[in-house]
Amino acid sequence: MEFESSSRIWDGVYHYPHLFGGIMLTCALLGISTSYFGVQSLPYLLPDLRIFHKKNYEKKRIRVYMDGCFDLMHYGHANALRQAKALGDELVVGVVSDEEIIANKGPPVLSMQERLALVSGLKWVDEVIASAPYAITEEFMHRLFNEHNIDYIIHGDDPCLLPDGTDAYALAKKADRYKQIKRTEGVSSTDIVGRILSSVKDIKVNKECSESPCHGKSENLNDSQGRESLAKGGHVSHFLPTSRRIVQFSNGKGPGPNARVVYIDGAFDLFHAGHVEILKSARQLGDFLLVGIYADQTVSDLRGTQFPLMNLHERSLSVLACRYVDEVIIGAPWEVTKDVITTFNISLVVHGTIAESNSLLNRTSDPYAVPKSMGIFRMIESPKDITTTSVAQRIIANHEIYMKRNAKKQASEKKYYTEKKYVSGD
């Protein structure tokens, strides 16, 4: 106690010299010797110095808000929220309601509960507000400032316009409580919908070619020229992976010396709520979760040439962004070998009960034969029955609606890439 009191006194002297000088001068004029007041006596004669201690050491935590539809969640969404978190200490995320999305953009692919699970599963998110409005209204903005103690509202540098053409964030900008981040190029929900719709065409072409000769059709995905021709058609990824981006998403920490390392592998294509929940369940079984992500060729060999919908680096970033994941193997082997188990000191290998149907899989081989023989394999119940295929089927079942919506969005995407200029920061 004596040390703390003395520390506060000298902090006060250092930061408020004029105030203390005035107090000491007053004591001198009153004929009171300052030598009479030792350091032990000063706390009782001077004002409560805890105010100095509080002012010097307590810093207000900055709370920032970012909203979105977060439909077909991808690494671009994750990177936007990572950038938003960097502008403050606590990140609150608003997930726009289904009704608002329908009114402003058309029907969402994922339900509100699925989108909430995806957003809550991101490592940079501190709080989530469900059923947020699409536009920042004056009433909602006051709620953010007064009820949620938000300091700034964040959005990307790409324009967000309402159906009437007005800026959805005009009020936040007018209140001088708006901050902007850089858009993550290379992916968008519109782009992903386009890839899914394109994959349906690929399946039809392959089926036709299997039934009768294609006679050199460029759409034939069984030859490399056909693949290149399709890529030039507009559904090639614009994503340019860099080591810096991977570092930004990575935890940068390995397992402790006695950590129980749990391993789970898969394609993790079109990252969805089912992935989040199974990763959460796997993480609870140990101290460190290592996720193996299959290479593109492995996924194609297992499921067909139209897969994966997202390439290896895109899928890796989506998995790394999940709060339950500690590390990933980029391009993991399909078979879990003794070498993999020894290299990463794996204690337990797990697999969910819900998985994609690998139609091209050789049924005679078991990728988990080694961990099973070692007694370190476990099947865990998948909390959700969602798969990449089931999500894609929602779009395919309503393809006319999404094709119409995408036609307009793809035009604006094309314009963006044609006219884009360098924007600093990310």
pLDDT at 198: 85
* Residue 328 CB contacts under 8 Å (≥ 6 apart), including other chains: 290, 291, 292, 293, 316, 319, 320
pLDDT at 47: 52
pLDDT at 207: 44
Closest CA to 124 of 75, 90, 76: 90
Counting as low any pLDDT under 70, the low residues of the chain are 1-57, 201-238, 358-364, 405-426
pLDDT at 383: 93
pLDDT at 360: 58
3-state SS of 169-186 is: CHHHHHCCCEEEECCCCC
H or E element, residue 393: helix 388-397
pLDDT at 416: 60
Q: Which stretches within 121-272 are classed as H helix? A: 138-146, 170-174, 189-211, 224-230, 243-249
pLDDT at 407: 66
pLDDT at 30: 52
Distances (CA, A) of 401 to 73, 199, 391, 407: 20, 17, 15, 10
The sign of the torsion formed by the CA atoms of 238, 243, 196, 190 equals negative
Closest CA to 277 of 330, 327, 332, 324: 324
pLDDT at 423: 60
**Alpha-carbon span 381 to 354, nearest angstrom:** 8
Closest CA to 190 of 20, 378, 417: 417
